[in-house]
Amino acid sequence: MKQFVDLRASEKYIGARFAWWDTITDTFEKYNGEMAWNNWDEFHEAYVGFEIQRYKELCPEWVF
């Protein structure tokens, strides 16, 4: 299962605003060498796969 992770309030803020956690493997998802993004356009550009609509539905409005 995919879980949206809001990084904005993290104590270890890495300069990106969100990431995706895979609850099956207990790891952050990585696409095109990236594990965190600032907005939807950055994620969409890095994502390679067939579930883009699923990710979009899980994002809060501020991502767009």
Percent of the chain predicted with pLDDT > 90: 88
pLDDT digits (tens, 9 = 90+) for 18-49: 999 999 999 999 999 999 999 999 999 999 99
Cβ atoms of 48 and 28 closer than 8 Å = no
Residue 27, helix vs strand vs coil? strand
Average pLDDT, the chain: 93
Domains of the chain, residue spans: 2-63
Confidence check: pLDDT of 4 > 70 = yes
